[in-house]
């Protein structure tokens, strides 16, 4: 926020009128709320005999945000097609790992299957002369965490549903995350090799959770696969590429790169390494980058098969060597003009710590704050509801349904039976949602995470208190909970 006459007076412990008088002598007519520039402030301090040092207002973070948020069209150069970036999500044991391994080993670009056992955070597969980039996130909580860090890398989600088990609680969480991210879903109905599969039951359950299969007139493709036997994999890739074609993923490639760190780790020989995904532009050896709180000159790059490469274009997974420290997952990287600039950015972020993370996301999420920042337009208030029984959820839903208001619409992002978990907190963090816990508490790790992320978990025992609080918050009458 800019320095004002008032804030400077307070900082110097002098009455504001003394400052105003001095400025008047300099020919400046100001009031107590007017902004001051650094030069004027120093002049005033000198005349008042006060020692004043002004920390330079660092606005590089704004500049970086401006660059990262610039639309591709703004560059005024031709857009090129880029491979879609796909994340595989699903309930535990439904076959994600098996599917991902199967896709990778049967379709690695150039047929090179070497090093298949080594862990990689992302890889590309080829299909009919086109490429698909797969991000191998460890579960949907990690998917939510990436988004909470501002790293929306995924274009499409493959939702794995085991045909013998159907839609399970984590499947529903995955659906909520994908929907909140606004990305298309392709369902991989897995384990279709098993006998006595009831496909209609799976399709029904999917429909009940807002996933309407195309064979039933909806917009979601459901592909039958067996990750174990390798059947349906080509079909799945084909469907992903068709879906991508409709979305027309394009970007610019002849600008300095920016992208996202998917995973950072320490290598004994090569020092800090980052598995990153280039979002747009081209990353080259020798580029100076900052990545979260780390920085460095790109010394070497490796592709998903472990081969050294000189440059990496849009949607390319790349392992980067040359950073000063291990960057955290979800950090965005950007090529800077010079190494000093990159260092400065990294160091200031380090100093700002958590507040920088929260600031990047637009601050903590609480019911009180939501209405403070309302700007008179109709706004969605996103909610995540966790409760003790399906009956409670129904009751809350019906109570919330009675809530009508000209300016605010309640929007349930996710609902589920059980305690508040990490997936809920990351979903809240990435979508600005409030978590309502009805007759349930938060799991320990979720509680700690919520504190760290500035997420509010509101606990209730009486249903109408939920809507009461929302009304009170709207009037600005809600007393802060903590
Ligand atoms: P994840 O937890 O979702 O990553 O699931 P995994 O890939 O680890 O698979 C869980 C279990 O299901 C393993 O025992 C797999 O062998 C088995 N599995 C995975 N895919 C299939 C499949 O297509 N058919 C059958 N019958 N079993 C499968």
Ligand 1, atom 19, lies closest to the CA of 95
Q: Please tell me the predicted confidence (pLDDT) of residue 454.
A: 85
Quick one: DSSP state of residue 406? Answer: S
Q: SS3 of 199, please?
A: helix
- Quick check: CB of 90 below 6 Å from ligand 1? yes
- Quick check: CB of 94 below 6 Å from ligand 1? yes
| Distance in angstroms (rounded) separating the CA atoms of residues 30 and 436 | 47
- On whether the CB atoms of residues 213 and 200 are closer than 8 A, the answer is no
Q: Please tell me the predicted confidence (pLDDT) of residue 23.
A: 87
- Quick check: CB of 177 below 6 Å from ligand 1? no
Write down the ipTM of this complex.
0.99
What pairs with residue 308 in β-bridges?
A: 302
List own/partner pairs for 2-8 with CB under 8 A and 24 or more apart: 2/35, 2/36, 2/57, 3/35, 3/36, 3/38, 3/41, 3/54, 4/32, 4/33, 4/34, 4/35, 4/36, 5/30, 5/31, 5/32, 5/33, 5/34, 5/36, 6/32, 6/33, 8/36, 8/41, 8/44
Distances (CA, A) of 197 to 162, 165, 216, 260: 10, 9, 18, 40
- On whether the CB atoms of residues 175 and 183 are closer than 8 A, the answer is no
Q: Please tell me the predicted confidence (pLDDT) of residue 111.
A: 46
Residue 226 CA, ligand 1 centroid: distance in Å: 9
Ligand 1, atom 11, lies closest to the CA of 93
| C-alpha dihedral sign at 89, 93, 94, 96 | positive
What backbone torsions phi and psi does residue 206 show, to the nearest 5 degrees?
Answer: -60, -45
Q: Please tell me the predicted confidence (pLDDT) of residue 188.
A: 98
Which residues make up each annotated binding site?
Answer: 90-97, 136-140, 190-193
Residue where the block lists tokens 């039933």: 216
Q: Tell me how crowded residue 381 is: count the other CB atoms within 10 A of its CB.
A: 22
Q: SS3 of 463, please?
A: helix
Which residues make up each annotated binding site for GTP?
Answer: 90-97, 136-140, 190-193
Residue 165 CA, ligand 1 centroid: distance in Å: 12
- Quick check: CB of 232 below 6 Å from ligand 1? no
Ligand 1, atom 26, lies closest to the CA of 191
Residue 95 CA, ligand 1 centroid: distance in Å: 4
Q: Please tell me the predicted confidence (pLDDT) of residue 52.
A: 81
- Quick check: CB of 171 below 6 Å from ligand 1? no
| Distance in angstroms (rounded) separating the CA atoms of residues 184 and 243 | 8
* Ligand 1 pocket mutation pick from 99, 164, 227 by most atoms within 8 angstroms of CB: 227
pTM of the model: 0.80
Q: Tell me how crowded residue 427 is: count the other CB atoms within 10 A of its CB.
A: 29
The alpha-helical segments, DSSP class H, found in 226-278 are 233-247
| Distance in angstroms (rounded) separating the CA atoms of residues 368 and 436 | 14
Ligand 1, atom 17, lies closest to the CA of 95
3-state helix, strand, coil in the chain (%, to 5): 35, 25, 35
- Quick check: CB of 121 below 6 Å from ligand 1? no
What backbone torsions phi and psi does residue 92 show, to the nearest 5 degrees?
Answer: -55, 140
Among residues 39, 63, 62, 47, which one has the least CA distance to residue 12?
Answer: 47
Averaged pLDDT, groups of 10, the chain, 482 residues long: 82 89 86 84 88 69 81 88 95 93 71 54 90 86 82 92 96 95 96 95 96 96 96 96 92 93 90 94 96 94 93 96 92 92 85 62 68 67 93 92 83 94 92 92 93 90 89 69 50
Distances (CA, A) of 283 to 226, 250, 266, 267, 276: 37, 17, 21, 21, 11
- Quick check: CB of 96 below 6 Å from ligand 1? yes
């Amino acid at each position: 926020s800019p320095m004002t006459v008032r804030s400077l007076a307070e900082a110097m412990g002098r009455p504001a009128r003394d400052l105003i008088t001095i400025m008047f002598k300099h020919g400046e007519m100001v009031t107590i709320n007017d902004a001051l520039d650094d030069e004027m402030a120093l002049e005033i301090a000198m005349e008042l005999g006060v020692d004043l040092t002004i920390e330079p207002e660092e606005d590089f973070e704004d500049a970086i945000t401006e660059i990262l948020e610039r639309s591709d069209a703004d560059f005024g150069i031709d857009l090129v097609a880029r491979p879609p970036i796909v994340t595989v999500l699903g309930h535990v044991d439904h076959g994600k790992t098996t599917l991902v391994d199967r896709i990778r080993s049967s379709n690695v670009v150039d047929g090179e299957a070497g090093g298949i056992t080594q862990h990689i955070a992302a890889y590309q597969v080829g299909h009919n002369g086109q490429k698909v980039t797969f991000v191998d996130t460890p579960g949907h909580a990690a998917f939510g965490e990436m988004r909470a860090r501002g790293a929306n890398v995924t274009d499409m989600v493959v939702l794995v549903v085991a045909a013998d088990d159907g839609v399970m609680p984590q499947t529903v969480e995955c659906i909520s995350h994908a929907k909140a991210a606004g990305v298309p879903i392709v369902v991989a109905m897995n384990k279709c090799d098993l006998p006595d599969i009831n496909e209609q039951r799976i399709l029904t359950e999917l429909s009940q959770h807002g996933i309407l299969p195309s064979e039933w007139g909806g917009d979601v493709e459901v592909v039958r696969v067996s990750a174990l036997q390798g059947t349906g994999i080509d079909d799945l890739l084909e469907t992903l590429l068709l879906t991508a074609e409709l979305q027309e993923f394009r970007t610019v490639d002849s600008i300095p790169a920016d992208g996202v760190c998917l995973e950072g780790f320490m290598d004994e020989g090569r020092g800090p390494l980052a598995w990153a995904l280039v979002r747009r532009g081209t990353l080259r050896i020798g580029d100076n980058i900052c990545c979260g709180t780390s920085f460095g000159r790109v010394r070497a790059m490796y592709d998903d098969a472990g081969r050294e490469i000189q440059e990496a274009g849009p949607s390319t997974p790349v392992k980067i060597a040359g950073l000063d420290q291990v960057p955290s997952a979800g950090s965005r990287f950007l090529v800077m003009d010079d190494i000093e600039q990159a260092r400065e950015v990294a160091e200031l972020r380090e100093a700002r710590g958590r507040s920088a993370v929260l600031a990047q996301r637009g601050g903590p999420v609480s019911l009180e704050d939501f209405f403070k920042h309302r700007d008179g337009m109709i706004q969605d208030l996103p909610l995540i509801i966790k409760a003790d029984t399906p009956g409670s959820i129904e009751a809350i839903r019906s109570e919330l349904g009675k809530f009508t208001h000209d300016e605010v619409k309640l929007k349930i992002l996710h609902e589920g039976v059980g305690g508040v978990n990490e997936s809920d907190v990351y979903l809240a963090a990435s979508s600005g949602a409030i978590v309502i816990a009805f007759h349930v508490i938060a799991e320990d790790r979720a509680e700690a995470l919520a504190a760290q992320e500035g997420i509010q978990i509101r606990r209730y025992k009486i249903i109408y208190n939920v809507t009461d609080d929302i009304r009170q918050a709207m009037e600005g009458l809600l007393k802060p909970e903590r």
